[in-house]
Every structure is written in structure tokens, then in C-alpha cells.
Amino acid sequence: MFTQTNEGALKGKLIIDLSRVLGGPYCTQMLGDHGAEIIKLEPPRGDETRDWGPPFHDEDSAYFLGVNRNKRSMGLDLSKPEGQAVLLRLLEKADVLIENYKPGTMEKWGLGYEEVLKNKFPQLIHCRVSGFGSDGPWGGFPGYDAIIQAMAGWFSVNGEAGSKPTRLGLAMVDMGTGLYSAVAILMAMAEREKSKQGQYLDMTLYDCAVSLMHPHIPNYLYSGQIPVATGNAHPNISPYDTFRTKTVDIFIGAGNNRAYAKMCVELGREELIEDPRFLNNIDRVNNRDELKAEVESSLMKIDGSEIADRLAEAGLAAGPIHDTAQVVDHPHTRHREMIIEDGWYKMTGTPIKLSRTPGSVRHKPPKFGEHTRQILREFNFADLEIQDLLAADTVLETRQT
């Protein structure tokens, strides 16, 4: 994973990254892992997630370090006309601009896509990540992961049956929007190969969160029944739930009759295969509590790790419930190179495995403004220009407080 020689599938693509916090940085880190050159332009106070700790390494939070590798950092004050001029010079060579400012901010600075960037850089792909978009009843309103989770229905289907609405323990609205944004950017770059034209990508946390409400929205649209939290059980499949064993809890998923029958055989409960309460998935869903009681009556006599391994070897989807430490230490996590270490840098690896052009870590997460002078020189700024920009705090090498 750590290499300086792998070029990556996106080598030669330049992305100017104005995004902060999570969705945009997660998107650009994925693209950077696969060879794109990412220039992270941070506001004078820096990406605020640098302060989101503990824990920290060298004054930068683990939160920031987790989504900002394979980038170079430059401080830039875009509220100044001189800062806007610097951005325009960088965009002359850029393939993609990504930002997550409040809608209207870029336009206020004279950097709107339709008004300026589209005409000045006709091949530029401008990706905006916002909470709700710029129009509509909630257009322009601020949006954060938890607020969007709440509004898009995620709270209502998370938690144990009968529990109060509960936030997911992962920032999956932000990260899901980052994933969708990466897909959108790649689509736009593929289309540009034919049209030779860029375009504007309007990515919102709200849209992405609604699209991820599967199967709950389809279930509601076809049944008229409002979905509720069902704990670890799946609303459409049974068995698909947590089960107690003699030692540790495990999760078993059997999505069809063949898998269900195989589970019954492995548990020594062949009589459950022909039990009229559990013949087909619809029967098992309607009688899920009775099925769970029958399965657990057998599992409570067996070591959880042993039966999870045996079920998996038999071709069933099953596994023990791990905490974070167990995930990090699991031999399969290490085998898949999903934990990488190089000196002080310890992080998750890339899940995108390409055979000829695998991902790589070329740059550890940058300190604020670490590459300011280097980047400006690459874009043909003269030394005197650089000194003037630094003196005026238009570009920065250290964070303002």
C-alpha cells in the first residue's frame, strides 16, 4: 500500500479540493488513493476537523488524519480578491473542483459555475456538496450528518424495537455522500472524454440519505405501512438477526430456503426445515420471534466463534460480533491490507482493489499549508508574488487563530 512507484488509475488528473470536514475530504482521499493529484486549499483557520479530538498526532486529530492522505495542503483566503485570483490560476490546469461551501458563497465571491467557471474553464467539472441544495423549500439551509439522518428517516428505523429514534453510530450520510460524489466525478470525467465538456455536479446530503433508505422507502411505497425500528432483525428477511450462543453473540443471515435449510442441518435441527411456521421466507418473517427462540435454544449450547466458523465454512453468511479492537486485530483485516502502518501513520487501507493499478499512499496527511510555496511555484508564481501573497495573508503556511 505504501509506495512511490504505483501511478494509479487516475494519474494525471488534478483535483482542487476546497472541501472540509468529512464528505468532500473522504471523496477526494479515495480519488487520491488511486493516483489523482489532490491540492487541498484550506481557509485561514484550516479544516476544522484538525481540532476534532482527542486523540491527536502532532496537533492534528485522528478524525482529520483518517480522510486526508494523498493530498497537499495550501492555506488560501478566498474572501480576498487576490485569493480568488490565485484559485483561478490553479483552475487553469484542473480537471475537477470540489467544494462544500454554503450555496451562494462561491457566487458571492465571483466564482459561480454558471456565471464564471463554466465559460472560463469549459472542461472543468465542478462538484458542490451541500446539505439540501440551493433551491427548494430547504434550499440553502445548513445540513450536517445527524440532522440529515433525522430528517431522512434514518433515526426512525434505527435502534431496538420500541426504542426512541436513534442516530447511527457512523457518519454514513457524510461518507455516503462522499462515495456518491466520487462516482459522480468519475461519471462526469468519462462523459467528458466524448463531449470535451465539463459540468456542474449538484450533490446533497439530503438526496443521498433519502436514496440510501432502502428497503424502508420501497416497503412504505408498496405497503402504506410506516417502517419502524426492528433492532438487528431485517424487516424483509428471516433469519437475519443477532443470536445468542454459549459464549459470544453472532449474526446469521439466511436469505433463501436453501440457506435456511443448510443452517438447520448445521445446527442439528433438520425438523425446522419442514416446520409449517418456517417453510418460506414470508412464513419466517411472520413468525420471526418463534424462529429466533428455536434457533437460540440450540445455539446456547454451542461456542459462538466455533459455530460462526462452521456456518461460514458451510457457505452461510454468519459471523461473530466484534468490537473495534477485534476488527483491527482480525487476521482477515490484515490479510486484506485494510490496516496500514508506516511509522506514526496508522489507518484503514483502501477497499478498492484494482489488479493492474492498485491504490497507494504517496503522501501522508499534510500539515496545514505544508505545501503552499511548492504548489505556487508549480503554477509559475514568481518568488516575489509568493512573498507578497504570504505577507498579505492571502496564502498561508500557518493556521490563523
Q: Does residue 341 lie within any of the structural domains?
A: no
Residues 249 and 205 in one domain: no
Q: Answer yes or no: pTM beyond 0.85.
A: yes
The per-residue pLDDT for range 364-399, each reduced to its tens digit, is 999 999 999 999 999 999 999 999 999 999 999 999
Check pLDDT > 80 for residue 113.
Answer: yes
Provide the mean pLDDT of the chain. 96
- For the residues 225-252, what does the mean pLDDT come to? 95
228 domain residue, yes or no: no
Q: Do 190 and 87 sit in the same domain of this protein?
A: yes
Determine the pLDDT at residue 5.
57
Query: Is residue 221 one of the residues assigned to a domain?
Result: no
pLDDT over 80 at 6, yes or no: no
Q: What is residue 3's predicted lDDT score, i.e. its pLDDT?
A: 58
Identify whether the C-beta of residue 352 lies closer than 8 Å to the C-beta of residue 359: yes
Longest dimension (CA), the chain: 84
pLDDT category of residue 4 using cuts at 50, 70 and 90: low
Question: Which of the listed residues 331, 365, 381 is the one where a domain comes to its end?
Answer: 331
pLDDT in tens, 287-309: 999 999 999 999 999 999 999 99
Residue 212: Cβ within 10 Å count = 18
Crossing angle of helices 304-313 and 257-266, in 10° steps, is 130
Q: Give the model confidence (pLDDT) of 137-159 as tens digits.
A: 999 999 999 999 999 999 999 99
Q: Tell me the one-letter amino acid at 209.
A: A
Domain for residue 220, yes or no? no
> Does residue 260 share a domain with residue 143?
no
* Sign, Cα dihedral of 95, 205, 101, 103: positive
Q: What percent of the chain has pLDDT over 70?
A: 99
Q: Are residues 109 and 75 in the same domain?
A: yes
The answer to whether 152 and 217 have CB atoms below 8 angstroms apart is no
Q: Which domain holds residue 285?
A: 240-331
Residue 7 included in any domain:
no
Helices (H), 224-339: 257-266, 281-286, 288-299, 304-313, 324-329, 331-335
Task: State the CATH number of the domain containing residue 46.
Answer: 3.40.50.10540
- Per-residue pLDDT tens over the stretch 264-282: 999 999 999 999 999 999 9
pLDDT at 391: 98
Q: Contact 291/228 with Cβ under 8 angstroms? A: no
25: β partners? none
Active-site residue set = 174
Mean pLDDT over 29-56 rounds to 98
297/376 same-domain check: no
Same domain, 195 and 63: yes
DSSP state of 361: B
Is 174 domain-assigned?
A: yes
pLDDT of 110 over the 60 cut: yes
Q: Give yes or no: residues 64 and 183 share one domain.
A: yes
pLDDT bin (cut points 50, 70, 90) of residue 7 is confident
Strands (E), 175-218: 200-204
Tell me the three state secondary structure of residue 233: coil
| Residues 54 and 116 grouped into a single domain | yes
CATH of the domain at 321: 3.30.1540.10
Residues 133 and 279 placed together within one structural domain of the fold: no
356 and 312 in a common domain = no
> Same structural domain for residues 327 and 360?
no
Q: Are residues 247 and 155 in the same domain?
A: no
In a domain, 279, yes or no: yes
pLDDT in tens, 67-106: 999 999 999 999 999 999 999 999 999 999 999 999 999 9
Locus of grid cell 430547504: 138
Domain count, the chain: 2
